[in-house]
Amino acid sequence: MQPYHSQSIKIYNSLTGEKETFKAINEGHIGMYVCGPTVYSNVHLGNVRTFMSFDVIFRYLKHLGYKVRYVRNITDAGHLENDADVGEDRIAKKARLEEIEPMEVVQRYTVDFHNILNAFNFLPPSIEPTATGHIIEQIELIKTIIDNGFAYVVNGSVYFDVHKFNQTNDYGKLSKRKLEDLIHNTRELDGQSDKKNPQDFALWKRAEPQHIMRWPSPWSDGFPGWHLECTAMSTKYLGEHFDIHGGGMDLKFPHHECEIAQNEAAKGQTPVNYWMHANMLIMNGKKMAKSTGNYILPGEIFTGNNSNISKAFSPSVARFFMLQAHYRSILDFTNDGLLAAEKGFNRLMDALSILDGLKASNKSSLDINNWKQKCYDAMNDDFNSPILIAQLFEAVKYINQIKEGSESISIEDLVLLKQTLHTFIFDVLGLENVTEIASGSDKLSGTVEVLIKLRQEARANKDFALSDKIRDELSEIGIQLKDGKDGTTFSIN
Ligand code: AMP
Ligand code: ZN
């Protein structure tokens, strides 16, 4: 761990459109909120990419010695279809289709989310609050916004008055939109006639009789608006004004714009110093998305069972593939990209084992300190993981040169080189050495558990070809699955 003040970080702030030198509100402490998943379906690799970007940021900030409180929520109510104020709740819809309780949907996909993130070696956030666990906080927040004159009640629903807010504040400052343009571009949708203006958004919605996810409130039995949840949970755990708020680029508008408006309306101050947005993973030229069917599931990457890929790839290779792009760049998911990442990743791991056998000389011909600072410089520059990876390959070159005798290294520098490589590869980028896993660590068990779960799902869907493939391919690499009356267990040969 480094003393955090030994490095100066620059963060691209979506709010100002500039890279700014980071300064924590409370010296040495960082509050970071990232919008979590809506748990109504399996997370796809696109979702994973956004969360991975923030996992690496969390890891680096921790490595620098900051005390980071990282809050990532679970959206388990209030997120309607099409991100709109009308339509069915995504979770309730899934529950209706599957004929199960909404909370069963929430449980199933929350567990899936955690399994997938474990397989990819994510660090857990400090707090993972759920929207349904914070209904009281959301009701209190709505009361304050109404008292401050920025929301109105119609037929048991409460709407945020965007036009009123925009008279004193700037609605659209994050997404760089003007209210006048929004007015021209908004279509009036059926069922939104309760609103004074189509740009207004719901803070609380009265539940129709068939809507089962409902809670009592001063206005009606109903449910909270999706945007409100994040404001309630972020300010509860990080305060009214905190350091970093992140999410995918597609959440900038309306979700994050509305979060800013709610906070300013309730507390009279803007909530966040640095807004960070991760860019999209695309596949076949289009955004990876559940709704269009253009997606790949992490489990399909681990088994190779998807027509977009030619073979299975380990979680670390997929992780390495994604971190080879900067978090603010669009990344195109391709089989060739994964194959190249696998080669690169293996080269890095090979270099680590060569490094273990290197002999030190009296003197170094290489400037390892300078190289180490370049690794920090890469991450200090808006968490530039591709530049960091380029520096790691610079070290691979050094290792090979030392091995061949064209460069020499002192014992102190050899230790420094090893330590720095381990820090950045394992602690900061969160990669795992596959051969270390093969010795039977928790991570391997976690990965096999994910595969067992996917196999159960395949069987439940009567996809026996896939369930057999998972069992047979695991068997080929020496992992035997055994089905018993208490579920499936595994053994490693
Ligand atoms: P959701 O569960 O739909 O709210 O999405 C969870 C997170 O994944 C959000 O931060 C989204 O911005 C992000 N996300 C969704 N699709 C993609 C994608 N194709 N690439 C990267 N991030 C995505
Ligand atoms: Zn959110």
Lowest mean pLDDT among 22-26, 309-313, 475-479: 475-479
Choosing from 278, 307, 341, the residue where a domain stops is: 278
Cis peptide before 254 (omega within 30 of 0): yes
- Please check whether residues 63 and 199 belong to one and the same domain: yes
Domain final position from 253, 278, 303: 278
Residue closest via CA to ligand 1's atom 15 equals: 47
Give the whole-number percent of the chain exceeding pLDDT 70. Answer: 95
User: Would the pLDDT of 299 be above 80?
Assistant: yes
Name residues whose C-beta falls within 8 Å of residue 266's C-beta, 6 or more positions apart in sequence: 141, 144, 145, 148, 150, 231
Residue 262 is predicted with a pLDDT of 98
Give the number of whichever ligand sits closest to the CA of residue 225: 2
Domain that holds residue 488: 440-492
Closest ligand to Cα 234? 2
Range in 53-67, 137-151, 200-214 with the lowest mean pLDDT: 200-214
Q: What is the CATH number of the domain that holds 431?
A: 1.20.120.640
In angstroms, what is the span from residue 45 Cα to ligand 1's centroid?
Answer: 9
Compute, in angstroms, the gap from residue 273 CA to the centroid of ligand 1.
22
CB 296 within 8 A of CB 333: yes
Q: What is the pLDDT of residue 325?
A: 98
Position 478 confidence tier, pLDDT thresholds 50, 70, 90: confident
Give the mutation target among 40, 50, 75, 252 for probing the ligand 1 site: most ligand atoms within 8 A of CB.
50
CATH for 197 = 3.40.50.620
Note whether 10 and 114 are same-domain residues: yes
Would you state the pLDDT for residue 488? 83
Clarify whether residues 343 and 228 are in a common domain.
no
Shared domain for 234 and 337, answered yes or no, is no
Q: Are residues 416 and 452 in the same domain?
A: no
Domain assignment present for residue 302? The answer is no
Q: Is the domain of 341 the same as that of 452?
A: no
Contact 487, 323 (CB under 8 A): no
Atom 10 of ligand 1: nearest residue by CA position = 248
* 161 CB-side CA count, 13 A: 17
Does some domain include residue 64? Answer: yes
Question: 63 in a domain, yes or no?
Answer: yes
Q: Give the pocket of ligand 1 (CB within 6 Å).
A: 35, 37-38, 46-47, 49-50, 247-248, 250-251, 280-281, 287-289
What is the per-residue pLDDT for 191?
53
d(CA 455, CA 176): 45
Domain-located, residue 283: no
Residue 140 lies in a domain: yes
Are 425 and 447 contained in the same domain?
no
The model's pTM is: 0.88
pLDDT in tens, 27-75: 999 999 999 999 999 999 999 999 999 999 999 999 999 999 999 999 9
Which ligand has the shortest distance to the CA of 71? 2
Domain boundary among 241, 260, 278: 278
Domain count within the chain: 3
Task: Dump pLDDT digits (tens) for 379-421.
Answer: 999 999 999 999 999 999 999 999 999 999 999 999 999 999 9
Q: What is the structure's pLDDT at 82?
A: 76
Q: What does the pLDDT look like over 72-122, one tens digit per residue?
A: 999 998 888 877 888 888 998 999 999 999 999 999 999 999 999 999 999
User: Which residue from 42, 43, 44, 250 has its CB within 8 A of the most atoms of ligand 1, so it is best to mutate?
Assistant: 250
CA of 399 to the centre of ligand 1 (A): 39
Banded pLDDT at 181 (limits 50, 70, 90): confident
> Is residue 103 located within the same domain as residue 162?
yes
Shared domain for 453 and 412, answered yes or no, is no
Distance CA(486)–CA(493), nearest Å, equals 22
